[in-house]
């Protein structure tokens, strides 16, 4: 893998000053024109936790999958992409309504970047006071951006009612988002908006839908193990339920 940030991949700059805790975003080359961006948050108020999204470099511009976790880290990512690739960020697709997927929406809007989500995600974002993307789409929508195809897929409720995944057929990359748990995860994580009964069913449906996956990226932590994460997700969810 290639790393193009100064320092080590998982170097997180954390400086506590009053109520401010800035983090340094990380980026990792995955395969072909696909990269992972990893931002950081404090979901329990004290422990630093990583959150993954993607960015795809197409011949006409850059596509983001999920914003970084907050506005500062979104600004950081925009600066990195402009300096490294010198291409316009065209759009961002948020995979559910939580802040680790939508926290940088207003920053993207400020730069004139189009922001998309499902109609259900926008509805839930509005109801819960989270940032709302501008444009909505019907479930299972295909985006053609330059030389790259992205497909959204809704496998059913799980981590949230609205969680979708993104399939990149040319590189066989599946962004599972927070529906899929990393092998590093020893539990189901934030289940405040989860459907614990439906979650294993949705993961099983997802596994059957895409049977030629080469890379799986979960919403949090590492992605070693790829499709083994499906069975692991089912196991930790059933344990919690």
pLDDT in tens, 132-141: 999 999 889 9
> Is residue 45 scored above 70 in pLDDT?
yes
- Which of the residues 159, 193, 195, 232 is marked catalytic? 159
- Which of the residues 98, 130, 163, 220 is marked catalytic? 98
pLDDT at 22: 82
As a whole number of angstroms, the distance between CA 24 and CA 18 comes to 18
Q: Is 29 a catalytic residue?
A: no
Per-residue model confidence as pLDDT tens digits over 5-17: 333 333 333 333 3
Per-residue model confidence as pLDDT tens digits over 155-189: 999 999 999 999 999 999 999 999 999 999 999 99
Domains of the chain with bracketed CATH: 26-240 (3.60.15.10)
Q: Is 144 a catalytic residue?
A: no
Residue of 109, 93, 44, 104 lying closest to 68 (CA atoms):
104
> Are 38 and 51 contacting, i.e. CB atoms less than 8 angstroms apart?
yes
More confident position, 241 or 99? 99
- Which of the residues 32, 106, 190, 226 is marked catalytic? 190
Q: Is 195 a catalytic residue?
A: no
Residues 6+ apart with CB under 8 A from 203: 155, 158, 179, 180, 230, 233, 234, 237
pLDDT at 21: 56
As a whole number of angstroms, the distance between CA 13 and CA 181 comes to 25
Q: Is 190 a catalytic residue?
A: yes
Alpha helix positions (H), 94-154: 99-102, 105-110, 119-128
pLDDT at 233: 98
Q: If pLDDT is split at 50, 70 and 90, which confidence band does 240 have? A: confident
- Which of the residues 72, 100, 162, 193 is marked catalytic? 100
Q: What is the rounded average pLDDT of the residues 48-63?
A: 98
Three-state secondary-structure class, residue 30: strand
As a whole number of angstroms, the distance between CA 241 and CA 239 comes to 6
> Is residue 220 scored above 90 in pLDDT?
yes
Q: What is the rounded average pLDDT of the residues 120-149?
A: 96
pLDDT at 53: 98
- Which of the residues 37, 96, 220, 232 is marked catalytic? 96
| Residue 199 tokens, joined | 């979650």
Q: Is 98 a catalytic residue?
A: yes
């Amino acid at each position: 893998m290639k790393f193009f940030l100064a320092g080590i991949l998982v170097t997180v700059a954390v400086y506590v000053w009053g109520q401010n805790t800035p983090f340094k975003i990380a980026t990792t080359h995955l395969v072909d024109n696909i990269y992972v961006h990893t931002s950081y948050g404090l979901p329990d108020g004290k422990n630093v936790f990583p959150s993954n999204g993607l960015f795809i470099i197409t011949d006409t511009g850059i596509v983001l999958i999920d914003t970084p976790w907050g506005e500062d880290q979104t600004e950081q990512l925009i600066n990195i992409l402009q300096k490294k690739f010198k291409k316009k960020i065209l759009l961002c697709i948020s995979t559910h309504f939580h802040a680790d997927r939508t926290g940088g929406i207003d920053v993207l809007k400020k730069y004139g970047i189009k922001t998309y989500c499902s109609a259900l995600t926008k509805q839930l974002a509005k109801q819960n006071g989270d940032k709302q993307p501008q444009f909505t789409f019907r479930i299972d929508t295909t985006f053609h951006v330059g030389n790259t195809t992205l497909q959204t897929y809704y496998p059913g409720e799980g981590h949230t009612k609205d969680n979708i995944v993104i399939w990149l057929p040319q590189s066989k990359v599946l962004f599972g988002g927070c529906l899929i748990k990393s092998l590093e995860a020893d539990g189901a994580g934030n289940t405040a908006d989860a459907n614990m009964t439906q979650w294993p069913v949705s993961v099983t449906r997802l596994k059957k839908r895409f049977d030629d996956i080469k890379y799986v990226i979960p919403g949090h932590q590492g992605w070693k193990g790829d499709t083994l994460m499906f069975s692991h997700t089912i196991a930790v969810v059933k344990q919690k339920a």
